[in-house]
Amino acid sequence: MINKQDLLKIGNKFFRSRLLIGTGKYQNLQLMRESLTLSDSEVVTVAVRRVQSEESGHQGLMEAIDWSDIWMLPNTAGCTNAEEAIRVARLGRELAKVAGQQENNFIKLEVIPDKHHLLPDPFGTLQAAEQLVKENFTVLPYINADPLLAKRLEEVGCATVMPLGSPIGSAQGIKNEANIALIIENSNIPVIVDAGIGVPSEAAHAMEMGADAVLVNSAIALAQDAPVMAKAMSKAVQAGRLAFLAGRLPQRSHAMPSSPTFGIITNSTTVQEK
């Protein structure tokens, strides 16, 4: 029997929705608000540097969201090394306080020196994570789908691991399935698939694999109808989670009849079901 109170636990917080969404790349704040509402998401990422600098598309962002209903997940987007990420994470904690979330220590940790492929730096990520955990942050590190790194980040005290499905914004779907499956199998903390998801079926697939949640930004924000895509992603995540909990039919190398064989007449002979 599936537990109707199947909640996602990150750190000391519980969430009903397993879809996390971003706030970047929307045509305007109204579309972002509508998408957020239809997604049913309770956790929204905010790029600290972009908000602090009032980068295009981020002016008014803090005022556009009702932070009494939405949990802020500040992120260190734009940081190229551990030192930058640690500094921006501290600013993110202050940003959450400005939003009225005094106890919010969440940080999505991104250390990305590669400006072309946007792949995260495993060494800088681990270094920053160790320090931020010491400073009582609830750390959600964005990583390559590396099972060994994922386990090490769990051991140093991270609240989740966030392996990429494929490169950021690529919409290639889950290209690292085998490694993500290993991460899920060996993890004692939530696994959130982040980056690369392009359509709802890919979000559902991640959840069917046993991921605890997915984070989607570009696939929603850059869709022709962002709010409708947000709703579709929400339903896909719910369906994928239910399918995982229900337990799929095992794959077979041969066919198996779905109807009973009892009573089938072949050449005047009745086949008795065994």
Residues marked active site are found at 108
What burial class does residue 165 get, using C-beta atoms within 10 Å of its C-beta: 0-12 exposed, 13-18 middle, 19+ buried? buried
Query: What is the 3-state secondary structure of the chain?
Result: CCCCCCCEEECCEEECCCEEECCCCCCCHHHHHHHHHHHCCCEEEEEHHHHHCCCCCCCCHHHHCCCCCCEEEEECCCCCCHHHHHHHHHHHHHHHHHCCCCCCCEEEECCCCCCCCCCCCHHHHHHHHHHHHHCCCEEEEEECCCHHHHHHHHHHCCCCEEEECCCCCCCCCCCCHHHHHHHHHHCCCCEEEECCCCCHHHHHHHHHCCCCEEEECHHHHCCCCHHHHHHHHHHHHHHHHHHHHHCCCCCCCCCCCCCCCCCEEECCEEECCC
